[in-house]
Amino acid sequence: MAIHPIEFRYGTPEMKKVWEAENKLQKMLEVEAALAEAEAQMGLVPPEAAQEIRSKASTRYVTNERVAEIEKETNHDIASIVKALAEVCDGEAGEYVHFGATSNDIIDSSQSLLLQESIDIIQDKITRLVKIVLKLADENKKTVCIGRTHGQHALPTTYGMKFALWADELHRQYERLESCKGRLCVGMMTGAVGTTAALGEDGLKVHRKVSEILGLPAVLISNQVVQRDNHAEYVMSLANLASTLDKIALEIRNLQRTEIKELGESFDPEKQVGSSTMPHKMNPITAERICGVSRIIKAYPSPALQNNALWHERDLTNSSSERIMLPEASILTDYILNLTIRLMEKLVFYPENIERNLNFTGGLIMAERFMSELTMKGMGRQSAYALVRKCALEANQKNINLKDVVLQQEGIKDYLSPAEVEEIMDPHTYLGSSVQIVDNVLEKSKEWF
């Protein structure tokens, strides 16, 4: 019976396939095969033995069921894999399986392959999401909306600015993963304490050759493990990415609120149900799920950081938490990335509400513009601020348009004509360099991927 939501509710087939038991075992077998092949090239094992090990290093021959059966006796996962592989090899080849290696050589090298596959999947989806958001930025660089600070109406901005900001941040998350990958996804065949002593003077050569065969850079130095600052960096990169997806989904949830309703996620009225009791509900369930799952991902850096502090050359305290943390963090991050792609692909806009909210405060959002215009016309900045603030407070208290209060001020008439006041009140013309800023992001994005 399924227990964990990853088994039946959360996750994509492509990422689950990376971390399922079959693929994990296959990757460990590939490391054992690479070790035998490297040792054969150094003359440490017979070439025919290495060939036989390579031919049998497959889950077609070594099954998880057989490994589990052996582990009931050995109580050691890697020793069980070694025995299961050795027993299916013909002749004396099985005698050479795992020669000169320690368990974590196999674990860390194979895990690097899993993490490499995971990062590739995540980066591919970040790329897809960035392209969707950039398209939205381009299409909406002149879609004027109200900008909010502290939850209050501030100044006009554009949806193009909002989307371009997200695209730029997502690209930084891509770069963080790319940088992390080079340190995290490394090959290791350095033995029990990292000295390669079991392989004598050929130890470093074997270590480098195994990594080469696996298509990984060889770790420069290790003890019994690749140091866990690398794994912590990966988990923190996923948590950071999750925080960006959380930010995007939270903004959409807020903008979909009934009293705002400027945009929101799509809803299929023919099939979708918003509530089991309230027939009118159309809830932002995709965005809410992104926010909720992101909280789990953002909790993983704590155990990941604790795993970096191990006793001496290594203990086992990192292992158990990583068995949970690395698959879950990878699967859940990929999952909410997928949800965000779907969310942004089908984003729904409500132009009439965007315009309504832009003018909701009766021109109060243009107070900064009045202050700036008065200052440029010759009034002192502090005096201009004080005068416009007085007008804004009166307009707010009396619930009247800021323009009407401004036109009654004798001090302003000396600097601005009624026609200029009318022009200043148009929020669509107070966008600064926003269009150019979005265009700059769009142009720069051509270099991203």
* Catalytic residue from among 150, 276, 280, 312: 150
Distance CA(414)–CA(233), nearest Å, equals 61
Distance CA(424)–CA(369), nearest Å, equals 7
Partnered with residue 149 across adjacent β-strands are 152
Question: What letters, b where the CB count within 10 A reaches 16 and e where it falls short, cover 191-201?
Answer: bbebebeebee
Residue in the structure block whose two tokens are 């992101």? 294
Residue 144 DSSP SS3: strand
**One digit per residue, pLDDT tens: the chain, 449 residues?**
889 999 999 999 999 999 999 999 999 999 999 999 999 999 999 999 999 999 999 999 999 999 999 999 999 999 999 999 999 999 999 999 999 999 999 999 999 999 999 999 999 999 999 999 999 999 999 999 999 999 999 999 999 999 999 999 999 999 999 999 999 999 999 999 999 999 999 999 999 999 999 999 999 999 999 999 999 999 999 999 999 999 999 999 999 999 999 999 876 666 666 655 566 657 888 999 999 999 999 999 999 999 999 999 999 999 999 999 999 999 999 999 999 999 999 999 999 999 999 999 999 999 999 999 989 999 889 998 998 899 899 999 999 999 999 998 887 888 999 999 999 999 999 999 999 999 999 999 999 98
Distance CA(228)–CA(307), nearest Å, equals 6
Question: What letters, b where the CB count within 10 A reaches 16 and e where it falls short, cover 205-235?
Answer: bbbbbbbebbebebbeebbbbbbbebbbbbb
* Termini Cα distance of the chain: 43
pLDDT at res. 412: 83
Domains and CATH numbers, the chain: 15-96 (1.10.275.10), 103-267+275-357 (1.20.200.10), 361-445 (1.10.40.30)
* Catalytic residue from among 275, 320, 383, 417: 275
List CB contacts of 417: < 8 A, sequence separation 6 or more: none
Q: Count of H helices and E strands in the chain? A: 20, 4
Distance CA(171)–CA(126), nearest Å, equals 8
Residue 418 corresponds to which tokens in the numbers above?
């009624």
pLDDT at res. 409: 87
pLDDT at res. 384: 86
Catalytic annotation present for 280: no
How far is it between the farthest Cα atoms of the chain?
A: 104
What's the sign of the alpha-carbon dihedral 163, 429, 353, 403?
positive
Q: For 150-211, where are the E strands, in sequence order?
A: 152-158
pTM recorded for the entire structure: 0.94
How would DSSP label each residue in 211-257?
A: HHHHT-PBPS--SSS--THHHHHHHHHHHHHHHHHHHHHHHHHHHTS
Catalytic annotation present for 434: no
pLDDT at res. 271: 64
Residue 215 C-alpha from the chain's centroid: 25
pLDDT at res. 274: 64
pLDDT at res. 275: 54
Rg of the chain (C-alpha set): 30
* β pairing state of 152-158 and 144-149: antiparallel
Distance CA(138)–CA(353), nearest Å, equals 21
Distance CA(403)–CA(369), nearest Å, equals 12
Cβ atoms of 425 and 403 within 8 Å: the answer is yes
Residue 140 C-alpha from the chain's centroid: 24
Residue 254 corresponds to which tokens in the numbers above?
């807020």
